[in-house]
Structure 1
């Protein structure tokens, strides 16, 4: 599913559930040693999928550590992103396309224009956000557009899509900018594709979205991505 939202140079691995052969490598276990079993399964499976995706690029299995802001630490020359939600896990990786190191905050415009320098993916259940959450993640300027979309296509949970899109924006942003980006510092706008398929209990829809980064001094001010609703999930992806 996710590969349809990403360019061909991005390797993707995804599963519904937790494979029995998913294991952690030395250096990864300590991060979740005290976590609950559910979190351990999610962490193990996403690392397993990341190695599966890296193998598609011809790379050997490596441990994928965790940084101080809980970001994955990819091998040199690789950019990537991981996501998990109830019943679904995925990872996406690509060879860094710039002239420096992956995610370098000081990379120049020429570096960033050379290829893939950042990835962000996210998956969420296609269900309403908990009450009050939308007010904390959406900006006032996003309200009219979301209301219009909800009136035109009420089958789509646009509130959940806002959350999912901003998560993928942040995941693509952080390795490049090396600083926090709050929900209120990105304004997203969605454009649905023409076709929407709705049958009892099943909805399939897709489209694009754009994000304006409103943080002062931001090294990136615009992002674009794709979104899809399939198999009860909301999926978003950003490629820089």
Structure 2
């Protein structure tokens, strides 16, 4: 799925099967708590495995990807990227910082949000626009949630600051499976793509290196 949502300047890798953390060489696991349960260890190691595969696809050194103080991935110098996971799916995407300022990807199960959660992540204007879209078989509310998660994953490495769900305005194009998000100044609107398949949603955004207003 990841190849359908990334622009040409971004390389990705994905898997639906976890690696065995006890037999894998992932020094990054040392960043986790000593009592971390095995499923979380496998999830973390598999995400890093995808990160290394994406780095190789980009033609960059595929060494360990560390963990920052806010649990964000620490990429090699000159590289930006993002890692995501949901039940049965792990993925990573990377790009060279000279071409892309930030990357954000997110994966979610394809199921509806609760009405309360949907109201929390959208503005009244967004809900009016989404309600006017042609009816489809996909859960638009979950796509919006995932798209905004992708935007946050790109936003935080750029700014070091938080971004609320309603701090941005999202417009969805269900025909081309794309979306546009209005970011706070000084950033220009960011464009993204989404894919829905096999009970999962994957979304991605890539902020151009010159992505300022």
TM-score normalised per structure 1:
0.79
2:41 is matched with: 40
Name the residue aligned to 1:112. none
Instruction: Give the structure 2 partner of residue 224 of structure 1.
Output: 191
1:236 aligns with 203
Bigger Cα displacement from structure 2, 27-36 vs 52-61: 27-36
> Residues of 2 paired with 1:38 and 1:140: CA distance?
39
- Are 2:104 and 2:206, in contact at CA under 8 Å, matched by a contact in 1? yes
Partner residue in 1 for 2:59: 58
**Highest relative contact order (Cα 8 Å, sep 6+), 1 or 2?**
2
Match of 2:12 in 1: 12
2:128 is the counterpart of 1:161? no
1:127-166 to structure 2, matched below 5 A, reads 127-149=111-133, 152-166=134-148
Are the counterparts in 2 of residues 24 and 47 from structure 1 also a CA contact under 8 Å? no
Paired residue secondary structure (1:35): coil
The partner residue of 1:185 within 162, 167, 175 is 167
Partner SS, residue 179 of structure 1: coil
TM alignment of 1:78-227, pairs within 5 A: 78-97=79-98, 115-149=99-133, 152-193=134-175, 207-214=177-184, 218-227=185-194
- Give, in whole Å, the separation in 1 of the partners of 2:95 and 2:169: 26
The normalised TM-score by structure 2 is: 0.89
Segments of 5+ residues of structure 1 without an aligned counterpart are 98-114, 194-205
- In 1, Cα distance between equivalents of 2:187 and 2:33: 32
Do the aligned residues in 2 keep the contact of 1:15 with 1:90 (CA within 8 Å)?
yes
Displacement after TM superposition at 1:158 (Å): 0.9
- Unaligned residue ranges in structure 2 (runs of 5+): 208-213
Give the 3-state SS of the residue equivalent to 1:82 in structure 2.
strand
Determine the C-alpha separation between the residues in 1 that align with 2:77 and 2:102: 13
Q: Structure 1 residue 31: deviation in Å?
A: 2.1
Count of residues in correspondence between the two structures: 206
Residue 32 of structure 1 and its aligned partner are, at CA, apart by 4.2
